Amino acid sequence: MALDSPELSVSIGNWQLQNPIMTASGTFGYGEEFADFVDLDSLGGMVLKGISLFPKNGNPPPRVVETSCGMLNAIGLENVGIDKFINEKLPRVSRYKSAIVVNILGDSIDEYRELAQRLNDTDIDAIEVNISCPNVKKGGVAFGTDHKMAYEVTRVVRQSCSKPVIMKLTPNVTDIAAIAQAVEEGGADAVSLINTLLGMAIDVKTRRPRLANTVGGLSGPAIKPVALRMVWQVARKVSIPVIGIGGITTVEDVVEFLLAGASAVQVGTANLVNPQTSGQLVEELADYLKSNNMASVHELIGAMEV
Ligand SMILES: Cc1cc2nc3c(=O)[nH]c(=O)nc-3n(C[C@H](O)[C@H](O)[C@H](O)COP(=O)(O)O)c2cc1C
């Protein structure tokens, strides 16, 4: 391999990505909205906004707040629902070369099953399962915080579709590696982590919470060290690929996650600061490899020295 064109492609199980840079769910709309800013043929993958069985209006405003080195959001998983998504949104992004990953969320195991079955008949490349949502039937405990429930959602989604299944893990647990092992056992092809960390902010003048929902999910550079630690812990415990997410803004951030053991990464909040970030990172990663005399991105994956 000539050094002027380093190898960027990575595999997630049997699924090949043209490079390891993806966008994170909820920060890249339904993809098409970013067409003026990013060459949508150039990314490893686009993970689209989380989709539920029925449309959701989300939480009342204010739903986002800026914090030191990050932001809090309590969007409440607003989305158009699976029917409108398949009929109207998906055809608009399917024509691009970047892989299409659809993030799904359910209030019950049955909802996850139905979403996976519906998406199995489409031409998407993979399903990412958000298990940070509360299980309504089990008293609102998030699927991703209980290893038995995490295993069960994974098993059901795995059995309901033939697409690669990525389980997206919440950091709001004591032992994220144990949850990762449970979803691996359930048949996941990969894990992605982390979703947002629960946080809150108070307006000292009004003494009221700055989010109408009081609490929200913290994202952005503030969470990068936590995410990096969790990716490293999980990568040592599972044999399926790990996709790193959390505060990624620069090519050095990408390299850190790869060194910690991630096979690919997702860029989230940075898209809201500079919508061109994901496309720029693809180019910058190639430049980084060239200027460090590396023939392949694989030279970085899991290569942290201890
Ligand atoms: C405004 C906003 C909306 C989000 N919506 C979703 C979502 O629908 N599904 C999901 O799994 N994660 C969602 N996330 C979490 C991100 O995909 C990502 O895991 C998290 O923000 C950490 O990455 P970052 O620090 O690069 O933003 C959302 C994040 C933000 C900031």
Residue 3: band (very low, low, confident or very high) from pLDDT cuts 50, 70, 90: low
Distance 37 CA to ligand 1 centre (A): 19
Atom of ligand 1 nearest to the CA of 71: 31
Measured by CA distance, the residue closest to atom 23 of ligand 1 is 246
- Atom of ligand 1 lying closest to residue 245 CA: 23
Sign of CA dihedral 253, 255, 257, 259: negative
Task: Express as a percent the part of the chain with pLDDT over 70.
Answer: 99
What is the pLDDT, as a whole number, of residue 230?
Answer: 98
Mean pLDDT of the chain: 96
Report the nearest-CA residue for atom 14 of ligand 1: 26
Protein residue whose Cα sits closest to atom 29 of ligand 1: 26
State the pLDDT at residue 292: 97
What does the domain layout of the chain look like in residue ranges? 10-58+76-196+218-299
pLDDT for 146 = 95
% of the chain residues with pLDDT over 90: 94
Distance 253 CA to ligand 1 centre (A): 17
Q: Is the pLDDT of residue 1 over 60?
A: no
Q: What average pLDDT does range 191-218 have in this prediction? A: 97
Q: What is the pLDDT confidence band of residue 136, given thresholds at 50, 70 and 90?
A: confident
Q: How far is the CA of 185 from the centre of ligand 1 (A)?
A: 25
Measured N-to-C along each axis, helices 251-259 and 224-237 cross at an angle, to the nearest 10 degrees, of 30
- Judged against a pLDDT cut of 60, whether residue 2 lies above it is answered with no
Residues within a 6 A CB radius of ligand 1: 24-27, 49-50, 73, 75, 77, 103, 130, 168, 195-196, 219-220, 223, 245-248, 267-269
Stretch 207-221: mean pLDDT, rounded? 97
Alpha carbon nearest to ligand 1 atom 26, residue: 268
Is CATH 3.20.20.70 the right assignment for the domain spanning 10-58+76-196+218-299?
yes
Residue-wise pLDDT for 227-264, tens only, equals: 999 999 999 999 999 999 999 999 999 999 999 999 99
Among 138-147, 166-175, 238-247, 290-299, where is mean pLDDT lowest?
138-147
pLDDT of residue 138: 76
pLDDT digits 0-9 by tens, 46-105: 999 999 999 999 999 999 999 999 999 999 999 999 999 999 999 999 999 999 999 999
User: Which of 22, 27, 131, 231 for mutating ligand 1's site (highest number of atoms within 8 Å of CB)?
Assistant: 27
Q: Choose one of 80, 102, 219 to mutate for the ligand 1 pocket test, by most ligand atoms within 8 angstroms of C-beta.
A: 219
pLDDT attached to residue 135: 74
Q: What is the pLDDT of residue 13?
A: 87
Query: Which residues belong to the active site?
Result: 133
* pLDDT of amino acid 141: 74
